[in-house]
Structure 1
Amino acid sequence: MGRTRKIKKDDILDAAERVVVKLGASGLSIDAVAQEAGVSKSTVVYDHKSKSALLEALIDRRMNMELERQSAAVEAAADAPHPELFGRITAASRVVDDTERAVALAVCASVSSEEKMQQRMRKWTTDDLKAMASGPKPQAALMSYLALSGFFITELFGFHQWSPEDQSRILEGVRMIYTSYPEET
């Protein structure tokens, strides 16, 4: 008798990421994920009742990874003029991989039609804006954050890839927006 393969939720999500990388968000289906994971459709449906639930779990996982990365960077930037901002700048100084880019595009596709995803993205943005307002020079932090967001989204969606040298110069410019911004009264 053969050994029964035990499939974990992460195995299903790993397969879903591979499907999104290969086929895009429109190619994500319960069937495609089951085939990619080498399991039955019912195994995928057991944990993820629908394509929307599967996409939601995939997005949750990636968002949690990003939040953990940001939290670690903010903690490491404790001595910076504005740890919440400078930590996010540090977290943005990395190469975005194909999986992350594909999941980001899937987020965009789902946000357009899924109110629950829109709410999550609004909350994430609201939390970031509160973090910018929490330190000294909140207006300077907001301007820097908006520049950082534009930079990061441009890279994340693959609209443009800067060389490591250009990326460093841009992120230094974002820091300078904060440090050179006029004092608030």
Structure 2
Amino acid sequence: MGRKKSIDQNRILNAAEAVVARVGATRLTLEGVAQEAGISKGSVVYDYGTKQALIEAMVQRAVIRDNAFNEAAAEPFAASDNATLKGRISAASQPFPDAFRAVALNICAALAQDHSLRSAIQKNQTAVIDRIREEAGTARGPMLAYLALEGLKLLETLDYHQWSDSERAALLDDIRQLASGSPG
């Protein structure tokens, strides 16, 4: 019989995120994660094997969390047109926490260098875009609104620009308007 799992996966992934936020994904080590989690390096190796596998698990967990957050935000709009997009706009009304930005920025750097890491994000974006297209039918406004929304979020996540609360609220209102219309 193999060893029983006694280390919580979230504990390891939380520790990995803390290390990435502090030193970046390129300087992430299994030893550093183990130390942050207060466990042995062997436990991290047993669960993930490699630094690459650990980063892949972090990306996958981020995708799952983001989808769950956005799906919960879409629930109030389930009976209306463009529920997926409306939920994503609603979810975006809550700016990303500063702690998330540091992790996201460093993970984005890792994603830029590794196609296999990007594939989880690419598949997820394809699924979201397909759902928005399906819900929008022939209207172009919802897709343009989604692109504007993702641009806003990307600029903030990568720390390229931060809007004031009032500017951000006005931009989200503009995106809502775009989502409801059909330009050109």
After TM superposition, is the score higher than 0.5?
A: yes
CA distance 1:96–1:182, change in 2 (3 Å): closer
The residue number in structure 2 matching 1:167 is 168
Structure 1 residue 89, shift from structure 2 partner: 0.4
**CA distance in 1 between partners of 2:80 and 2:159 (Å):** 30
| 8 Å Cα contact 1:144-1:175 kept in structure 2 | yes
Unaligned stretches of 5+ residues in structure 2: 1-5
Could you say which residue in structure 1 is the equivalent of 2:3?
A: none
- Tell me, yes or no, if the aligned pair for 1:77 and 1:87 is still in contact at 8 Å: yes
Q: Does 1:141 align with 2:142?
A: yes
Compute the displacement of 1:161 (Å). 1.6
Structure 1 residue runs of 5 or longer lacking an equivalent are 1-5
What's 1:122 paired with?
Answer: 122
TM-score under structure 1 length normalisation? 0.88
Q: For residues 1-185 of structure 1, what are the structure 2 equivalents within 5 Å? A: 6-136=6-136, 137-182=138-183
Q: Deviations over 1:65-119 (max 9, x none)?
A: 1100111111222244421111110111112123322332233223233332222
Considering only aligned residues, what root-mean-square deviation do their CA atoms show, in Å?
1.7
Q: Which amino acid aligns with 2:124?
A: W
Identity percentage of aligned residues: 35
CA distance in 2, matches of 1:85, 1:63: 17
TM-score where L is the length of structure 2:
0.88
1:17–1:99 CA contact under 8 A, matched in 2: no
Q: Residues 4-49 of structure 1: CA distance to partner in whole angstroms, max 9, x if unpaired? A: xx53111111111110111121221101111111222111101011
Runs of 4+ in 1 over 3 A off after TM superposition: none
Aligned partner letter, 1:34? A
Count, aligned residues: 178
- Counterparts of 1:35 and 1:16 in 2: how far apart (Å)? 10
Residue pair 2:104, 2:158 contacting (<8 A) in 1 also? yes
How far apart, in 2, do the equivalents of 1:44 and 1:177 lie? 47
Distance 1:23 1:95, change over 3 A: same
